[in-house]
Amino acid sequence: HVQLVQSGAEVKKPGASVRVSCKTSGYTFSDYYMLWVRQSPGQGLEWVGWINPRSGDTNYAQKFQGRVTMTRDTSSRTGYMEVRRLTSDDTAVYYCSRGAHWYTGTSSDYWGQGTLVSVSS
């Protein structure tokens, strides 16, 4: 069955970087986009971006451009998201998800369990 398993919680200081991994199983990795969403404590969902697993092409929300990088390793069926220059506003649960259909307006049908990233001095 389809699974997305994310790396564990992280505690970082302001200005640092964090990399979250999302290891997949149960489906052909290259046949589905990987999408990333975050949720700050007590807040709603916020779009971060997506990566095309075949080409490596990415699309980031404007507010994250220049500070977020998404990559993938097709051999290990794993996606990665790095966020740089962290501030307290980046404290959130970060989710990876699988794009349900092969087009850039797709929904997310399977989700990782979420990774809490806490930024504090």
Partner 1 sequence: QSVLTQPPSVSGAPGQRVTISCTGSISNIGAGYDVHWYQQLPGTAPKLLIYGNSNRPSGVPDRFSGSKSGTSASLAITGLQAEDEADYYCQSYDSTLSGVFGGGTKLTVL
What are the backbone angles phi and psi of residue 89, rounded to the nearest 5°?
Answer: -65, -15
What x-and-dash track marks residues 87-106 binding partner 1 by CB under 8 A? --------x-x--xx--xxx
75 burial level (CB within 10 Å; 0-12, 13-18, 19+): exposed
Identify whether the C-beta of residue 83 lies closer than 8 Å to the C-beta of residue 117: yes
State how far the Cα of 69 lies from the Cα of 12, in Å rounded to an integer: 17
> Based on CB atoms, which residue is closest to partner 1, 14 or 104?
104
| Number of residues near partner 1 (by CB under 8 A) | 26
Residue 44 within binding range of partner 1, rule CB under 8 A: yes
Residue 109 within binding range of partner 1, rule CB under 8 A: yes
- Binding-site ranges for partner 1 (CB under 8 A): 35, 37, 44-47, 49-50, 59-62, 95, 97, 100-101, 104-109, 111-114
